[in-house]
Structure 1
């Protein structure tokens, strides 16, 4: 049975920070693979800065194709909206019964985990791997001694997709923050310029 870490995000766009975290998690934990789960555009929200699902999935594919243990996933694209992590986990566990699925999240998300839909079910059936965030230090939460919560001392990366989109809009060079393939795709498609 493989241990798969699910790293959810809009990846709008995916950047080297995402890859640093994913690679560190798969190389420094008992996870065998990381699936980068592209969160779909919520049809009930008008979010003009969010690229279509297939473009964001394509960028994740381009960013991860050189990594044997990191893969893109569109598993949420066909699920009912809005997406709840507990439903995605139930669906993916049914679809791939020979795999063990865990969540990957930043400390900022751990603070609000108790507000997630059916968070108790998630923690009953799945492990959660938590990476640090710079602004947080070590976050004290009700989950500090929970047997399913695993803190991984990953590098702290303060790069955001919002920062990248804004820099592109301002015609700044952000090439070092993206893989060459993702930068080329964004440039060719003229994304985030307006």
Structure 2
């Protein structure tokens, strides 16, 4: 089985995340896409994050109607901060018969050379890259790399940061969140 790992804090998960993941599940050789909820990204401040289990619950609510999309709390029990190479090593040991690939936006590919052991990741895992409108150059070593697969997915420029700000400002964000996620955020009074 080939699993695409879509890492993120998902604070909150939104229709952009779902659209990209579902597109990959339907239009690539991936059998499933796992939303790996990251407790602490090395590049993000923890203070702005909702509790891990609240974010995991939102991913569960968002994916429950999709057979090929799954929430994952695999990083919750790993040493923090979470580095992708460590998670991949753990997953390989736990699921030796699965093949794992990464899913990332073009914007993240631009900083891949800064990741811990990125050469090892590229040696052992494919990376599915979806388009973003962001500017800046992609390192030439990644442009024609055999393990980097550029996906012609819809361009989704929604961000969780934007959604949190809109909620705080009292704006209606219901159309850009999965219905169950919007209800959960509303009931729990998150981001206000």
* TM-score, normalised via structure 2 length: 0.95
> Is 2:185 aligned against 1:182?
no
1:39 is aligned to: 38
SS of the equivalent of 1:134 reads: coil
Report matched runs for 1:13-162 at 5 Å: 13-41=12-40, 47-136=46-135, 139=138, 141-162=140-161
**Which consecutive segments of 4 or more residues in structure 1 shift more than 2 A?**
45-49, 135-141
| 8 Å CA contact 2:40, 2:81 repeated in 1 | no
Offset at residue 49 of structure 1 (A): 2.5
Q: Distance in 2 between matches of 1:48 and 1:91?
A: 27
Q: Distance in 1 between matches of 2:34 and 2:23?
A: 13
Q: Which has the higher helix share?
A: 2
1:173 is aligned to: 172
* TM-score, normalised via structure 1 length: 0.94
Q: Distance in 2 between matches of 1:185 and 1:167?
A: 16
SS of the equivalent of 1:142 reads: helix
| 8 Å CA contact 2:58, 2:181 repeated in 1 | yes
Q: Distance in 2 between matches of 1:173 and 1:164?
A: 9
Offset at residue 138 of structure 1 (A): 8.3
| 8 Å CA contact 2:4, 2:102 repeated in 1 | yes
| 8 Å CA contact 1:111, 1:141 repeated in 2 | no
Gaps of 5+ in 2: none
Return 54-63 or 135-144, whichever deviates more. 135-144
Offset at residue 101 of structure 1 (A): 0.2
Gaps of 5+ in 1: none
Q: Distance in 2 between matches of 1:46 and 1:143?
A: 28
RMSD: 1.7
| 8 Å CA contact 2:3, 2:30 repeated in 1 | yes
Offset at residue 118 of structure 1 (A): 0.5
